[in-house]
Amino acid sequence: MSDDEVEFPNWMPSDAQQRCIGICSLLDSAGNPLPGARDVLRRLATWTEMREAWAELKYFDKASPSDLIGAAFWTWVCAVYNRLAPLYPQEATLGHEARERAIRARAVADEMRAVRPTIRAAEGITDVTLTELDRAAAFFEQNVKFVNWLLNTATPPRKRRSPKAEQIAFVYSMCDRYGRASRRRPYRLVAILANVVYNVPVEVWDEDRVKHCLRSRSRK
């Protein structure tokens, strides 16, 4: 799926179309690093089941179509990452390394600002240099926030070896997200999204199965 390939159906909200295009551009710039990502986007954009999702979304006042596309896609990314991370030992230190880089960058920026202005000037260190150091530190701090979000979204359920562990993680996370947006329960909306994102028959996830899944979690 690329910007010039997809033909959006006329019932897809325009801001959701723009979100899909934006994610495609991001994947292109990153070299399309995640297998299956474009297929997930294509299904979210074109499958007729999504007509029901757009109709259901109207009951959630603070949720936009663009938000739905982004939430479904990035929650899937997190679920995939958190399923695969234990297979790669180096990923276990991802959060720690991100925090260490941010701490070091901020320490350098702060220490340089603490140097007397006359000394900085003598060494050619200007306010522009200080601003750039702050920008670098802010970049690493923002990266920590992203890593924390990645590691804490769609985390594997207790039965992480279950064939549906990734799907269950997706369902949990999406219910948590949209369950707070309205008094209406998000069971139907999340069931539609799970079936579309994971390309499974409609009977795999329905309102009752989503509800049962959440109740099973609350009993643990």
Look up residue 210 and give its two tokens: 């989503």
Whether 189 and 60 have beta carbons less than 8 Å apart is answered as: yes
The tens digit of pLDDT for each residue in 59-95 reads 887 789 999 999 999 999 999 988 887 776 665 576 7
Using a 10 angstrom Cβ sphere, with 0-12 exposed, 13-18 middle and 19 or more buried, the burial of residue 56 is: buried
Q: Is the pLDDT of residue 154 over 90?
A: no
Look up residue 76 and give its two tokens: 């899937």
Whether 172 and 217 have beta carbons less than 8 Å apart is answered as: yes
Using a 10 angstrom Cβ sphere, with 0-12 exposed, 13-18 middle and 19 or more buried, the burial of residue 69 is: buried
What sections of the chain are H helices per DSSP?
A: 14-29, 37-46, 49-57, 65-84, 94-114, 117-122, 127-152, 165-179, 187-197, 207-218
Q: Where are the domains of the chain?
A: 14-87+155-218, 91-150
Band of residue 109 on the pLDDT scale cut at 50, 70, 90: very high
Average pLDDT over residues 3-17: 83
